[in-house]
Structure 1
Amino acid sequence: MSTETERRGAPAGPWDDSALAEREPFRELIAEGELRAVGVRPSIGAYLRDIWARRHFLVYDARSRVLTKNSKHRLGSVWLVGKPVLDAAFFFVIFGLVLQIDRGIENYPGFIIIGVLLFRYTANSMTQSASLMHSNRAMIHAFSFPRASLVISLALRELFAVVPLLAAVFVMLMIIPPHEFPSLSWLMVLPLVPLQALMNLGVSFIVARIGVSLPDISFGFNFLSRVLMYGSGVIFPIERFISHPAIYEVMTNNPLFILLNMYRTMLLDHTVPPLGDWLTIAAWGAGLTVVGFLMFWKAEERYGRH
């Protein structure tokens, strides 16, 4: 058989003229932006547009997951509020009744309720983000979508879950002695919660990115959340136990400490926090979100390989 005959009878190889001709239309579509290579990081503009196009689904998915999170339990969504309240009651018994560190604090039950329940909002975002990409491996491998959607969906779920938690805080402050009643300063909680949500989103981007490279880091972030709890004035006033000037400065400039202090100022002292505190939390939220998003986006190609 001649060489020409062999060429005619052989299947088209990757360098065969006919195969290249068949691929030419796809090259044109790729060049025109109609097709994209799978697994390649898009430009940041295209990435943001993809996320925005899915905004309605992200909101719907987050709301549905919050409502069905505890559906297998008899009390269902009651546990969204019940578990944090039980945690607050536990810390009150240990630190307030047993250790009696409540002396000098006018409303220690309110102090600890605000600290535990609203710190939990940030702590949950951080610890869940550590294993987020690994727990969603099947979805990442099966579908093409901006992976940042997973982090945003988690942030939205936690934001929806904090709404009944805030309602519980308000109710408990009113019914538990020495009773705090609503005032105009309570309305300032409404703009503060989105600032905390923005800060949580930035933290989630950073932690999720680290969690891809170090899957076991979730244990480290669980430990870190406990350190932050004791270092952010969640269950006791820092100024009563920290005398070293440098440590005191570090702890009081911790954004979580500032955030909780703002909530307590509005809900317990019935005054509006100073403008400097608002600007500090806004700067932390915006800075963490921008830095975290860029870190996460730069590693977009890696998430389908883990």
Structure 2
Amino acid sequence: MQGRIIKSLAGFYYVETANGDIYQTRARGNFRKKGQTPYVGDWVDFSAEEQSEGYILAIYDRKNSLVRPPIVNIDQAVVIMSAKEPDFNSNLLDRFLVLLEHKKIQPIVFISKLDLLSSRAQMDDIRTHYEQIGYKICYSLEELLPLLVEKITVFMGQTGVGKSTLLNKIAPDLRIETGEISETLGRGRHTTRAVSFYSVHGGKIADTPGFSSLDYEVDNAEDLNEAFPEFRKLSHSCKFRSCTHTHEPSCAIKQALEEKQLWKVRYDNYLQFLSEIENRREIYKKTIKRK
């Protein structure tokens, strides 16, 4: 039989078939020998006899994956950013977007706490810039809900942006405690850690932890360039194939910036991320030399 893992708990994997039946399974020992671990979102072959525990027999190739928590084969991610308390932070949003672009996961940005703004003018301007790049920006639940249909969606956001509040509105049955660690989603201090998909609005959703900081796997200028869609399109016109868009002559990105075809905020964030990558490389080189 074939199905998708929709829940992982205490060594058990719950597999849902195309007709909606759910089977409790375990992973055979040969997966450990191969260094493989089944994750929520995996498409698998499994055996399941009546009134007995099933076993996962094979794991299909994954199109993408996240580490915290381990979820694979994700269609899209809703990044929740607050307009106020904490203030909107384009640098943090771009870190999320770089991660998602690198992972080939479609981003959707949801702006929370708009009611705390005295004026939306600045936020509307920011929204316009991101939409011009090609990102979907949602101000309301009415804009967001249709995007969840027939999709596997994860929710992510910095602690304090209202992620639990939003999830409670989308799926009241989850009863997530706002401002606290989610017991329902298996991250209470004294609960067994569970990773699960929940069927909501014609699709499946999964929560991810809040972040106070975000590490991403991009560790070179080429991948960073690819993670900025507007740079990716223009960089083919750069004189040098390995252009970092910093000091090289005949750089299409810098030219577009001068002609105000690119948003300077994004370019400044790109430069900061590039600097962080280069600094990490220098630290790594020094560490290697010491050894």
Structure with bigger helix share is 1
Structure with bigger strand share is 2
Structure number, greater radius of gyration: 1
Q: Which has the higher contact order (CA 8 A, sep 6+)?
A: 1
Which TM-score applies when normalising by structure 1?
A: 0.20
Which TM-score applies when normalising by structure 2?
A: 0.21
